[in-house]
Amino acid sequence: MTNLIEKSLLLGFGIFTIIIFSTILIPFLGSIVEYNHKEKEALESYMIFINEVDLGLIYVSQHPKVSYIKEVDYPNNLNISFYDHIAKYEFILENKIWVRYIEYNITFINSYFHSIPPQTYLLNISQHSTLIRVNISNIH
């Protein structure tokens, strides 16, 4: 009989402990899910922007006499450098600095876009003689 009482007390204490821990952890689970969702959206915005620039560079390299002009949403914490044959994209994700290099068969006019606030800009890609120029300028 005492064995049964001990088991029921242990089971009750275990259930009590689980209830206490779950009431402490449940509010934090919502924050964790929200944080992961924001990180996923940030990564998607970086990839959309990088793909847009890539499409513009390919278009101008195939049509050298035509400029590529498009409105783009510049993501937060993104630094871009164009030099020689390389486009370098640096961004912060999950408190780490991520760097993505894309190499092209075209030569760029050296240009750097660092510490630009996130908003909508005008992306202008054009070819001058044998060099590709990338410019990101304010719309207003």
- The widest CA-to-CA distance across the chain, in whole angstroms, is 95
| pLDDT recorded at residue 52 | 92
Instruction: Report the predicted TM-score, pTM, of the whole model to 2 decimal places.
Output: 0.72
Q: Which domain holds residue 8?
A: 2-138
The number of distinct structural domains making up the chain is: 1
Q: Please report the pLDDT score of residue 34 as a whole number.
A: 66
- Residue 79: the pLDDT is 92
User: What tens-digit pLDDT sequence spans the chain (140 residues)?
Assistant: 567 788 888 888 888 888 888 788 777 766 666 666 677 788 888 899 999 999 999 999 888 889 999 999 888 888 999 988 999 999 888 788 889 999 988 888 899 898 888 889 999 999 888 889 998 888 86
